[in-house]
Amino acid sequence: MANELPDLGSYTDNIISTAEEDRISKQILYQVNQSPSVIHDVEIDDYLASLGNNLLMNTSISNRHIEFFILNDSTINAFAMLGGVVGVHTGLFLAANSESELASVLAHEISHITQKHLPRIIASQQRDSYKTALGMALAILISRSNPQLASGAMQAASASAAQNTLDFTRAHEKEADREGIKLLDRAGFDVRGSINFFKTMQKSSQFSDGAAPAFLRTHPITSDRISDIEDRLKDFPYRQRVDSDNFYYVKGKLRAFLEEKSSIINLLKENIKNKSYLNESGEHFALAYAYYRNNQIKETRQEINFLQKLKPANPMLLNLDATLLIKEGKLNEATDLYQKSLSMFPTYRAFVYGLADHYIGFKQSPMAINLLEKYLSIYPRDPNLYELMAKAHAKLGNILLQNESLAEAFYYRYNLREAISLMDLAVRSKDGNFYQKSRVETRLKELQREEMLFKKALN
């Protein structure tokens, strides 16, 4: 079996350097941030990142950052890309019956990255141009994620060609299966989640191969491959693992916001009545969000009160509670709950966003700025924190600081051109002290230098 696997030679390291992969990653993530199909929700993002990073800690590249994002796409799919980027479709998330099943897919995609499958394919194709590699990476994003990301028939056609060129081989898939199972086990998940997920997809395949789930098309699974996975699983002891509440809560939040408002409420109420659900609290949480989305305040409060008796300290539930308190006009209670929640879960970003925005709306921008400065030292790459900082400075009339914060927000959304434009406005601002003016001037030069290096790399 080992003879089927490609060699991990040093040649692939020379195909795309770490610096080139970083540039590719930034360009991909710029496209991701521009796409209306990408879901930007801090609770969902943080859950996915936490799950992925838990797996990543047990790899040879544990010191390297991998970006995860979720696409609003009902097809069952996930994909790894050059530059250490992993995309997950909502359809795949919702199809997973356990946290181990979802983790098994992430482990598989992470293994494609750790085993350098895409650089190895490029090496075999003798495609050693950074510009070509970048174009291929963006083409894969278009073809493997969502057609809405394509801008024209020609681009879509080139994406299709790149997809055909860069599909993983059977040997790559077997290697990702093997390494992914190891990652699952080391991270404490049930390794049988991998085979359970594949079997679930196969059972639901009431169609021909041409209409199979996207994941099965981009990651072909054969009877031989299933047998190989099952043989490997015999080496691992049975592990009973209790799924986290947030797995079911994130699924519930996605269902509440992606389905039609009235129909999802009726469906969830029927499921609860008949006890036909994976998890009771997850179903009630989905119903609470569905009511909230439908502006049914009383019903939302009833569901939250019910859940608080079951899961009183869950951060997602606390965040929904605080959000509802604001909608109910109970502003002081919302402030107290956010502060209490942050003391319980000090790194939970949704509380930081909510409290900072609440302070700004409550005409307490200095308090918002103090809070945001504290958390920017923890999350220095978070564009939402910079955006909130800009909002707070705007309320106080601090033009230089507003433009500086907005520039950083755009920079960490990988829009270098807009970041430079806004940092230039900060430099030209009439307010600001000597230290602030010196800081923005230095930062502008850094951004311009980065843009010059990127343009040079493309030529």
Question: What tokens were used for 52?
Answer: 């992925």
pLDDT range class, residue 115, cuts 50, 70, 90: confident
- What is the rounded distance in angstroms from the CA atom of residue 52 to the CA atom of residue 56? 6
**For residues 180-195, average pLDDT:** 89
- Residue 66 lies inside a defined structural domain of this protein: yes
Instruction: Please give the residue that has the higher pLDDT: either 195 or 378.
Output: 378
- How large is the average pLDDT for residues 19-34? 82
- Is 29 a member of any domain? yes
Rounded Cα distance, 322 and 354, in Å: 8
Predicted confidence (pLDDT) at residue 171 exceeds the cutoff of 90: no
From 260, 295, 312, give the residue that closes a domain: 312
> How much is the pTM?
0.85
Closest to 62 measured CA to CA, from 186, 163, 168: 186
Residue 132: what pLDDT? 59
Which band of pLDDT confidence, cut at 50, 70 and 90, is reported for residue 29? confident
| Residue 37's pLDDT band (cuts 50, 70, 90) | confident
pLDDT band at 220 (very low <50, low <70, confident <90, very high): low
- Return the top range by mean pLDDT from 137-146, 149-158, 160-169, 185-194: 185-194
Residues 253 and 205 in one domain: no
Instruction: Categorize the per-residue pLDDT at 204 as very low, low, confident or very high, splitting at 50, 70 and 90.
Output: low
Q: Tell me the pLDDT band of 152, cut-offs 50, 70 and 90.
A: very low
Residue 128 has pLDDT above 60, yes or no: no
Over residues 172-196, the mean pLDDT reads 87
Greatest CA span in the chain, whole angstroms? 70
Count up the domains in the chain and report the number.
2
Higher pLDDT residue, 371 or 3? 371
Q: What is the residue range of 78's domain?
A: 2-233
Tens digit of each residue's pLDDT (9 = 90 or more) over 46-74: 999 999 999 988 776 655 678 999 999 88
* Last-in-domain residue among 262, 296, 312: 312
203: in domain? yes
pLDDT at 123: 65
pLDDT score, position 61 = 64
Residues 252 and 120 in one domain: no
pLDDT-based confidence at 431, cuts 50/70/90?
very high
**Same domain, yes or no: 93 and 132:** yes
Pair 254, 210 in one domain: no
pLDDT of residue 77: 85
* Pair 164, 207 in one domain: yes
Quickly tell me which residue has 């030679």 as its tokens: 9
* More confident of the two residues 377 and 144: 377
Residue 322 lies in a domain: no
What is the overall mean pLDDT for the chain? 83
What's the pLDDT score for residue 356?
Answer: 98
Residue 341: inside a domain, yes or no? no
**pLDDT confidence of residue 261:** 86
Do 252 and 228 share a structural domain? no
**What is residue 156's predicted lDDT score, i.e. its pLDDT?**
44
Q: Per the domain annotation, does 360 fall within a domain?
A: no
Least confident of 127-136, 297-306, 316-325, 411-420: 127-136
Predicted local distance difference test score (pLDDT) of residue 126: 54
Question: The sheet that has 78-81: what strands, in order across it?
Answer: 38-39, 67-71, 85-89, 78-81
Give the tens place of pLDDT for each residue, 279-291.
999 999 999 999 9
User: Model confidence at 310, in pLDDT bands (50, 70, 90)?
Assistant: confident
Question: What's the rounded mean pLDDT across residues 226-230?
Answer: 79
pLDDT (0 to 100) of residue 241: 86
Structure confidence at residue 40 (pLDDT): 93
* Residues 261 and 294 placed together within one structural domain of the fold: yes
**The pLDDT value given to residue 329:** 94
Long-range Cβ pairs for the range 130-134 (8 Å, 24+): 130/16, 130/20, 130/23, 130/24, 130/457, 130/458, 131/457, 131/458, 133/15, 133/16, 133/20, 133/24, 133/82, 134/23, 134/24, 134/27, 134/458
Sign of the alpha-carbon torsion through 123, 127, 129, 133: negative
Q: What percent of the chain has pLDDT over 90?
A: 54
Q: Is residue 170 part of a domain?
A: yes
**194 in the same domain as 252:** no
Q: Domain ends where: 177, 201, 233?
A: 233
Do 55 and 199 sit in the same domain of this protein? yes
What's the CA gap between 388 and 365, in Å, rounded?
10
- Which segment, 71-80, 126-135, 203-212, 320-329, is predicted with the most confidence on average? 320-329
State yes or no: pLDDT of 148 exceeds 60. Answer: no
* pLDDT confidence bin for 141, thresholds 50/70/90: low
Does position 380 have pLDDT exceeding 60, yes or no?
yes
User: Is the CB of residue 371 less than 8 Å from the CB of residue 359?
Assistant: yes
pLDDT of residue 83: 81
Q: Are residues 87 and 197 in the same domain?
A: yes
Confidence of residue 161 (pLDDT cuts 50, 70, 90): very low
- Are residues 80 and 165 both part of a single domain? yes
Residue 285 and residue 219 in one domain: no
What's residue 353's pLDDT?
A: 98
Lowest mean pLDDT among 232-236, 272-276, 338-342, 382-386: 232-236
Tell me if 352 is assigned to some domain. no
- Across the range 370-394, mean pLDDT stands at 97
